[in-house]
Amino acid sequence: MDRREILKQYFGYDSFREGQEYLIDNILKGKDVLGIMPTGAGKSICYQAPALMMNGITLVISPLISLMKDQVEGLNQAGIHAAYLNSSLTPGQYRKALAYARLGRYPIIYVAPERLMTAEFLDFALHVSIAMVAVDEAHCVSQWGQDFRPGYLKIVDFISKLTVRPVVAAFTATATKEVKEDIIDILQLQDPALITTGFDRKNLYFGVMAPKDRYGAVKNYLDTHLGDSGIIYCLTRKMVEEVWEKLSMEGFPVTKYHAGLGDEERKNNQEDFIYDKKPVMVATNAFGMGIDKSNVRFVLHFGMPKNLESYYQEAGRAGRDGQPGECILLYGGQDVVTNQFFIENNQDNQELDEITRRIVMERDRERLRKMTFYCFTNECLRDYILRYFGEYGENYCGNCSNCLSQFENVDVTENAKAIISCVEASRQRYGANVIIDTLHGANTAKIRSYRMNENPFYAVLAKAPVHKIRQIFNYLFLNEYLTVTNDEYAVVKLTEKSENVLHEDMRIVMKMAKEQNHPAKTEAGKKKGSGGQVGIFTEEESSLFEKLRQLRLEIARVEKVPPYIVFSDKTLTHMCSIKPGTKAEMLTVSGVGEYKFEKYGERFLQCVREGLQ
């Protein structure tokens, strides 16, 4: 079979997505490749399809057990023999898998990087033909990547021990210029075919909120999205427990995940989420990498992540099926302090020398600063993210909270002068909260102890709402009229531009939201129990979708696989749209290949027929 026949036969797609064919063709020519493609763009097909056409085994280096298990289940469901080798296997299971692999049973084997240099695995690798080494989540090889893993540095040592060098293919969803260069250099890719298909996920809505009651905002969101699957990320284990407990008591179908839980509880909770027994997951960032759950409709962040790479990767777990998804960050001022603490006490880079460790820490502080700017910019949120990754477009996407809000240009020169003058009069010794409290005239013990109530600018902005003062303050940071020190206390400092504001006739105009904004996207056009489908289907199609989803769930429970492994929501949606009545018509549905039709096709055809009666 050629690559297009394989695409249809095993994966059920009629055509390749952007970048896939280019990477596959270069792999088949024997060239190294690097693919930088957003979550949901189909990176895995770029190495799975050629693996079925090459003579020898494709080893896929993967960072997490959950990722391997998910991918292997999906391949087996598509009729492709695959296996994984990691610490979840007993010694007996591991030896049995290696024995089958030696016999050539598996064209694709997933393996953890830490396993590569063990004596048993090396003995296996030296006595079989390895055609390709595919490195998934390749940003893990870089110290500048958001998930640096020292185990990834062993990949090159492993490849160097092989008798014949295989094709090396690397893939990642998020990579800045530095990370991309690191991947090529550290993995020693040889004249690689390189493609970046773009970081934009047009199906995702991005929003930032700063509610006084973050839990109340989450509850209200879930009330209007009953039936949808989603993830709620929290910064700490304690916060996970608090949010999970409150939502559970309110009757929401939620589960939880963080590193403080036992292995068995984490495994069971993760499976409850994947199998849609409890479709909402409350978790720390320990959860998610490698979770290929295609029907996640929303990702809420109950607090700001420490960098944009992490945020975009976590938010990108919504809408992997190409259907609409919502990514909303609930921001609070304390989030910056929490993340600064994480950076200062980071234990992940202990293997680095002291100079390099300090350089990495400084880079982490800078990335936190840019993440913070994302939370209070009034510009297009999507454009802000894309610019961070080196893509430039129009400053309007029409699908983020800023683009859907009404703004007006406001001259804030006098307020800006007051803020800068207060910083200058206090001799640049305090943080943002002290300056804002001083300007607003707060009569607190801290203000009195610092004698800021004697500052000449004390209470000069007493009539302005605190949130407006903070908005202007943030704008001054974002545009480098002020800066903060990268240390524990984040002291506010003046810049050359702040001098221009005070001593030259410079006007400062900023976009500020009007008091009456458009209704938030998350509150509009949704009905309880929608399952994410309202506005897409007619009433008849909506009923059919639920029947198809129920059939999928029944099959998944019998076969003990996640429902989306049977068919994705996108495939079910396509069925509702074209309403197939024959095998030929069913095979035109995106995601239905010959193998899956033989397993499930007639049952779904019958369900469509009955649903339309």
Residue whose structure tokens are 């904004």: 517
The β-bridge partners of 282 are: 232, 256
Q: Which of 20, 139, 141 is nearest to 389 (CA)?
A: 139
Cα(132)–Cα(498) distance, integer angstroms: 56
Q: What's the angle, vertex CA 128, arms to CA 124 and CA 133, rounded to 5?
A: 90
> β-pairing, 193-196 with 229-234?
unpaired
pTM reported for the whole predicted model: 0.72
Position 58, amino acid = T
pLDDT computed for residue 520 by the predictor:
44
Position 195, amino acid = I
> β-pairing, 108-111 with 82-85?
parallel
Q: What's the angle, vertex CA 293, arms to CA 244 and CA 339, rounded to 5?
A: 50
**Mean pLDDT split into 10-residue runs, the chain, 613 residues:** 90 90 96 90 92 95 81 88 89 92 93 91 94 93 74 92 96 85 95 90 93 94 93 95 97 94 90 91 82 87 92 90 92 82 72 74 84 89 91 84 85 94 94 93 93 95 90 86 76 90 86 57 40 57 88 90 86 90 92 90 93 80
The CA–CA distances, whole Å, from 561 to 172, 565, 607 equal: 26, 7, 20
Tokens, residue 327: 């990514």
Tokens, residue 160: 């160097």
- 223-251 exposure pattern, b = at least 16 Cβ within 10 A, e = fewer: eebebbbbbbbbbebebbbebbeebeeee
For 325, the 3-state DSSP assignment is strand
Show Cβ contacts of residue 119 under 8 Å, excluding neighbours closer than 6 positions.
Answer: none
Tokens, residue 140: 């893990």
Q: Tell me 598's DSSP state.
A: I
Residue whose structure tokens are 């062993």: 154
Q: Which of 233, 302, 221 is nearest to 521 (CA)?
A: 221
Cα(500)–Cα(597) distance, integer angstroms: 69
Radius of gyration of the chain measured on its C-alpha atoms? 26
Tokens, residue 392: 């430039």
pLDDT computed for residue 352 by the predictor:
66
Would you say how long the chain is, in residues?
613
Q: What's the angle, vertex CA 36, arms to CA 30 and CA 42, rounded to 5?
A: 85
Phi and psi of 298, rounded to 5°? Answer: -150, 150
pLDDT computed for residue 518 by the predictor:
39
How many CA atoms does the CB half-sphere of 475 hold within 13 Å?
22
Position 73, amino acid = E
pLDDT computed for residue 350 by the predictor:
62
Report the chain's terminal Cα–Cα distance, integer Å: 40
Q: What's the angle, vertex CA 410, arms to CA 404 and CA 416, rounded to 5?
A: 120
For 285, the 3-state DSSP assignment is coil
Tokens, residue 280: 């909402």
The β-bridge partners of 204 are: 325
pLDDT computed for residue 360 by the predictor:
77
Residue 212: burial class (beta carbons within 10 Å; 0-12, 13-18, 19+): exposed
Q: Tell me 400's DSSP state.
A: B
